Structure 1
């Protein structure tokens, strides 16, 4: 299931880079990680949040931060499968996978 915000739906095809962030039970770490992405000076990117069956508030935290910074994003919900390879969620020429506990 794919859901996104209005920014993603309108600006999706204009982005050059997809940043893929797998999410599974990381509510204690996700705020710093997503904030580091949202505060980039380069703005021609989108964030693909891959919710890997997380049951905590990780996805909501990420969505709130991205929305507050007007960052293009989409959420892909899936059953717990482990880390995505990335290419199946690749929408643009460039792709960057980022662990949900790291900073940009």
Structure 2
């Protein structure tokens, strides 16, 4: 389940960066809310083994997956690649621990 949750998180981040680059729209507020939802999912899943989104989280994630599906069908490959590079940089910096922040 961890792999599926990680994949969903990556879709959210990828859709956000594609939107910032002019391919769909995900507001900064929606992105922050989705990342909070995902953090709660990871925390609950890792501590209890229950990998389940609450209703609001499910609805928000379903909307972003639908947007991502449209993006994959509509966005040029060069834009997908550029967004993927942004995603990698974002995840690398976001997932570093506090002890790594000074490096």
Category of TM-score, reference length = shorter chain: under 0.3
Q: TM-score, normalised by structure 1?
A: 0.26
Structure with greater proportional strand content: 1
Higher relative contact order (CA 8 A, sep 6+): 1
